[in-house]
A and B are shown apart, each in its own frame.
Chain A
Amino acid sequence: MKPRPQDVLVIGGGVLGMSIAYHLSRLGASVTVFERDYPGAGASGANAAIVASSTTSPLSYALLEEWGKHLLVELGEAAGDDALFEACGRLRLVTEKEVGSSVIDVVRRNREAGIAVQYLQAESVEALEPQISSAGLLGAAYSPSDGIADPFRLLRVLVERINRRRGTLRHHTRVCTIRRTNRFVQVTTPRATYLGKVLVIASGVGSGQLSQQLGVTLPIRPMRGQILVTEQLPRLFHHVISPGITQCRSGNILLGVSMEDAGFANENTLSVLQTIARGSILKAPILKTACIIRCFSGLRPMPRDGLPILDRLPGYGNVYISVSHNGLTASQAIGQGMAQWIAEGEKPHLLAPFALAAAHRRS
């Protein structure tokens, strides 16, 4: 017997897929999420946990992330979990290597649009973060409302809330094929076939292959990011330091800013880890004696122009795509916006700039 058609099928249990499913379930839709491994097994669980909108460009993307940040605060408060998102503030360092950098222009533009950010001179940066080396430092963009999210806590809250409503998470369930029938979209897993009125592809680096099954090419490629983790240390940094230093609430420090096109190879490489180590010591010499206990890497889907793709697949009225290189900050804004679009039929204003055709044009 075939299961009853669901309102929406979502492929991908990362922060985007789960956020879309959560917001759909809030609107009363029946939702099934298919996750190949477990929530956060992909890029959503392998990043530096940074939530930041203050130095994002273009402004349309910064505003989407700003709204996402606001919704993350609300979700953390509603869940009574103050570690889900912690607005500890962030400093985006600007060094002599970036003379004439556009960061200052971006700060001005974002600030005018109402995002809490200002440009600080080097002396003020040193006062806020004494461990940051002043060598070559020109200043920093400072935002008090950026911060750190714990993607696994976020995902846990989303799973609980989806389960409480008309949602089902099918973890350890790989989607083999998707195809369109007369009225529905049909998803086949190794064990069963599912029908949905609407399909959402939110499978990170796997989204390209799935869209290809429907004859649509996405302008994305996998981008590998590697991160080093220190032992738990006393509080050395009070803010997220971009690029590349995040001290989590646990005391562990995440170090890393790497981005490489290495296909689908998701390993760590010594040369990149060494580059991260050297760069981190230059930025904060005290880290020289910090113990590294682990490293990890993640494959993030990189749209060719760096902006999220949030759209309906051309030629399909009922198949949606949602991929982003950094999905954590905007996750709730994307989830809310996509859910509203699917439920009410009109693409929300905030999502309008992130069209597939635009991504193709820009790349």
Chain B
Amino acid sequence: MRDSTGRIIICRCEEVSREEVLDAIRSGCETLDEIKRATRAGMGRCQGEGCAHMVAAILSEVLGVPEERIPPFAARFPIGPVNLGELAATEGELAPGQQDQSSQEAP
């Protein structure tokens, strides 16, 4: 999708263009998470649902690495948007892997 100035928009939530993603890769970003921090692509409301694949495709093209070898954005809680009120009232624990594995060791 192009915006009104003709830029190709990769991340629609944060309005990040293909050129900005390429700039980030040229300046040394090697992973989706690094590109996210450098450009904000994937930081919006959909958390990369829409753009992860396109950012990975650009990275794959520039680095010459097959797209399936590029790790996705780091998965973090919550998987979908959740109201702060719901979170405050939630019972239970994070799924394994999102859990604090060190709680037993902490003094």
Considering the complex, which residues of chain B in the window 10-65 have a beta carbon less than 8 Å from any beta carbon of chain A? 14, 27-30, 34, 37-38, 40, 43-45, 47
Chain B residue at minimal CB-CB distance from A286? B84
Cβ of A237 < 8 Å from any Cβ of B? no
Are A263 and B94 in contact, with the CB atoms below 8 A? no
Cβ of B1 < 8 Å from any Cβ of A? no
Task: Write out, one digit per residue, whether chain B residues 67-92 have a CB within 8 A of any chain A CB (1) or not (0).
Answer: 00000000011100111110110101
CB B62 to nearest CB in A, in angstroms, measures: 15
CB A150 to nearest CB in B, in angstroms, measures: 10
Considering the complex, which residues of chain A in the window 203-248 have a beta carbon less than 8 Å from any beta carbon of chain B? 228, 230-232
A169 to B82, CA, bound (A): 39
A270 to B43, CA, bound (A): 21
- Chain B: interface size category: 35 or more
**Which residue in A37, A231, A261, A265 is a CB contact (below 8 Å) of B81?**
A231
Cβ of A138 < 8 Å from any Cβ of B? no
CB B89 to nearest CB in A, in angstroms, measures: 8
Are A232 and B45 in contact, with the CB atoms below 8 A? yes
Chain B residue at minimal CB-CB distance from A284? B84
**Which residue in A37, A41, A294 is a CB contact (below 8 Å) of B47?**
A294
Cβ of A49 < 8 Å from any Cβ of B? no
**Which residue in B45, B47, B85 is a CB contact (below 8 Å) of A289?**
B85
Cβ of B3 < 8 Å from any Cβ of A? no
**Which residue in A263, A270, A278, A291 is a CB contact (below 8 Å) of B106?**
A263
Contacts of B81 in A (CB 8 A): 231, 291-293
A169 to B76, CA, bound (A): 29
Are B100 and A274 in contact, with the CB atoms below 8 A? no
Interface centre among A228, A293, A295 (most CB of B within 10 A): A293
Cβ of B5 < 8 Å from any Cβ of A? no
CB A172 to nearest CB in B, in angstroms, measures: 6
Are B102 and A262 in contact, with the CB atoms below 8 A? yes
Indicate whether A288 sits within 8 Å of B107 (C-beta atoms), given known contacts A38-B28, A294-B43: no
Count of chain A residues with Cβ under 8 Å from any Cβ of B? 43
Chain B residue at minimal CB-CB distance from A40? B37
**Which residue in B27, B40, B43, B88 is a CB contact (below 8 Å) of A159?**
B27
A262 to B99, CA, bound (A): 12
CB A237 to nearest CB in B, in angstroms, measures: 14
Considering the complex, which residues of chain A in the window 254-292 have a beta carbon less than 8 Å from any beta carbon of chain B? 255, 260-265, 267-270, 273-274, 277-278, 280-281, 287-292
Please report whether the interface of chain B is mostly helix, strand, loop or mixed according to DSSP. loop
**Which residue in A37, A45, A269, A277 is a CB contact (below 8 Å) of B94?**
A269
Cβ of A156 < 8 Å from any Cβ of B? yes
CB B38 to nearest CB in A, in angstroms, measures: 7
Are B29 and A273 in contact, with the CB atoms below 8 A? no
Are B82 and A292 in contact, with the CB atoms below 8 A? yes
Cβ of A197 < 8 Å from any Cβ of B? no
Contacts of A288 in B (CB 8 A): 83-85, 88
Are A267 and B88 in contact, with the CB atoms below 8 A? no
CB B24 to nearest CB in A, in angstroms, measures: 10
A199 to B40, CA, bound (A): 33
Are B106 and A281 in contact, with the CB atoms below 8 A? no
A264 to B100, CA, bound (A): 11
CB A58 to nearest CB in B, in angstroms, measures: 27
Indicate whether A267 sits within 8 Å of B100 (C-beta atoms), given known contacts A38-B29, A152-B37, A152-B38: yes
Are A277 and B88 in contact, with the CB atoms below 8 A? yes
- Enumerate chain A interface residues (CB-CB to B < 8 A): 37-38, 40-41, 45, 152, 156, 159, 169, 171-172, 228, 230-232, 250, 255, 260-265, 267-270, 273-274, 277-278, 280-281, 287-296
* 20 pairs of residues in contact across A and B, judged by CB atoms under 8 Å: A38-B30, A41-B34, A41-B37, A152-B38, A159-B27, A171-B28, A228-B87, A231-B81, A262-B100, A262-B102, A264-B102, A268-B77, A269-B99, A270-B99, A273-B77, A274-B87, A288-B83, A289-B85, A291-B83, A291-B84
- Enumerate chain B interface residues (CB-CB to A < 8 A): 14, 27-30, 34, 37-38, 40, 43-45, 47, 76-78, 81-85, 87-88, 90, 92-94, 98-103, 105-107
- 6 closest A-B pairs (Cβ-Cβ)? A265-B102, A288-B85, A277-B88, A269-B100, A291-B81, A277-B87
- Please give 17 more A-B residue pairs, beta carbons under 8 A apart, in addition to A41-B34, A228-B84, A289-B84: A45-B37, A152-B38, A262-B105, A263-B105, A269-B94, A270-B77, A270-B98, A274-B87, A280-B84, A281-B85, A287-B84, A288-B83, A288-B88, A291-B45, A292-B81, A292-B87, A295-B77
